[in-house]
Amino acid sequence: MDQTTFEWVRGRFAEVLELDPAEISKNSRFADDLDADSIDLIEVVNSAEHSLGVTMAEEELYDLETVGQLVDAIDRHRAVGE
Amino acid sequence: MSAHAGDAGLKAAQAENFDNLNDVVAGSAFDRHLRFFNFGYRPLDGETPSGPSLGGAFPNRDSAQLLFEVVGDTDLTGARVVEVGCGRGGNLWLLRRSYEVAQVIGVDIAHKSVVFCRDRMPESNAAFIHGDAEQVPVGSGIADAVVSVETSCTYPDIESFFRDVARILKVGGQFLYTDLHDVRLIEPFVATLASLGLELTYQRDITANVQASRRDRAARQKLAFGDHDSADAAAMKEFVGVDGSELFDLLASDLSSYVILRFTKTADVTPPAERFLTEHEQAQVRSHAAEAVRLLTIPSASGGNRPAS
């Protein structure tokens, strides 16, 4: 489950940021490593909500710094069957 | 007497602009994340930003930083804060999140902004009121702090706003204020507030920081307002202040200064009927407000331009 979510998130970030997926790891920080901003992050989260059937509160996004943290947040929602 | 025949029309136009903007945002994928409508603040190289640190992908990061700079070292623990011109509530949301304020009250002239705020902050210690900044619909002496961020430049009768700020504040309360002003008017504004019992405690020109934010963020932020046809796109380009827009040029001009001003209310003053600002200064204020409202014009979403939601 975790790997699947990570693969999905990595794929979406690669598309949005026009990067090679191999450049994106769980430890990648949005701003410092990927040069991603909040608009990129929100795009990926909106896609996750549509494609993975999760609903994330706005507040959950505000302290996220890394791809892995986003994956964990999505997985928490998937685990409770949203 | 300062009331002016055109003022009501100007305020109605400003309310309509922001109601239209809410409609535009409601049709975008960023609706629930977009809480701020201001130019933002970007720390310059070597500068230590004020306030809590924010993640690199924190939504509306520069707008959040602008609030932190406006607050500075002001202690807002347990405070009741009134924001005049609260827009979509970003500042009050952030004050609740990052400072231990006790209660927030937001006032805005755009009904749809007030509805958004009420929906997003239903907590019992947050209230949002539809109202006019020149006749703020809250009681006298109730606020520990009044916040005003990049909104007063659209007020045709700014002295009425200043008088109301003085009325609303408790003695010892803080007025935390920032906006883009005609440089010739800053001194008269400070003098007017002094006459109303508000002592200036801090003043800083942040024009370069605001310009840096616009240069870096405006084109990206325009994307958050969704897809538009060319008429809307031109309006949004102006609204967000991209490099080359009239608003950006105004920021870059020597005639205007984006300034943070903080005041402490030291005494209750019963204001005289006679105005502190001269007729000439009031005319300048009114003219700048009309210009600002013109530049911030957002076409109605009912014109068929609203993106599919």
Superfamily of the domain at B7-266+278-300: Vaccinia Virus protein VP39 (3.40.50.150)
- CB contacts, 8 Å: A64 with chain B: 55, 57
ipTM of the complex: 0.81
A43 contacts B29? CB cut-off 8 A? yes
pLDDT of B177 > 70? The answer is: yes
CA–CA dist B177, B212 (Å, integer):
20
Q: How far is B180 from chain A (nearest CA, A)?
A: 26
Q: Which of A29, A30, A42 is opposite residue B33, by nearest beta carbon?
A: A42
Structure confidence at residue A58 as a pLDDT band (50, 70, 90):
confident
Give the count of beta carbons closer than 10 Å to the beta carbon of residue B80: 18
Task: Measure in Å the smallest separation between the Cα of B194 and chain A Cα atoms.
Answer: 39
Structure-model confidence comparison of residues B93 and B234, the more confident one: B93
Rg of chain A (C-alpha set): 11
Binned at pLDDT 50, 70 and 90, residue B90 comes out as very high
Residues 6+ apart with CB under 8 A from B272: none
The pLDDT value recorded for residue A63 is: 84
In this structure, whether the domain defined by A2-79 belongs to CATH 1.10.10.60 is answered with no
pLDDT reported for residue B84: 98
What pLDDT band is residue B3 in, cutting at 50, 70 and 90?
low
B98: exposed, middle or buried (Cβ count in 10 Å: 0-12, 13-18, 19+): middle
Is a pLDDT exceeding 70 seen at residue B226?
no
In this predicted structure, what is the pLDDT of residue B151?
96
Q: Please give the interface size between A and B, counted as residue pairs whose CB atoms are below 8 Å apart.
A: 49
Between CA B117 and CA B132 the distance in angstroms is 16
Amino acid at B72: G
Per-residue pLDDT, B175: 98
Task: Of B22-36, B76-90, B219-233, give the range with the top mean pLDDT.
Answer: B76-90
Q: Is B290 helix (H, G, I), strand (E, B) or coil?
A: helix
The set of residues, in sequence order, having a beta carbon less than 8 Å from that of B27 and lying 6+ positions away, is B226, B301, B306, B307, B308, B309
The pLDDT value recorded for residue B222 is 78
Out of B57, B220, B221, whose CB is closest to A41?
B57
Q: Which of B57-66, B188-197, B243-252 has the lowest mean pLDDT?
A: B243-252
For residue A78, the model assigns a pLDDT of: 84
Find chain B residues with C-beta within 8 A of A67's C-beta.
Answer: none
Give the model confidence (pLDDT) of A3-37 as tens digits. Answer: 589 999 999 999 999 999 999 999 999 989 999 98
Does residue B162 or residue B60 have the better pLDDT?
B162
Residue B32 has its nearest CB partner, among A30, A58, A63, at: A58
Nearest-CA distance from B17 to chain A in Å? 24
Question: How confident is residue B1, by pLDDT bands cut at 50, 70 and 90?
Answer: very low
- B75: tokens are 């202690």
Q: Per-domain residue ranges for chain A?
A: 2-79
Q: Given this model, what pLDDT does residue A81 score?
A: 64
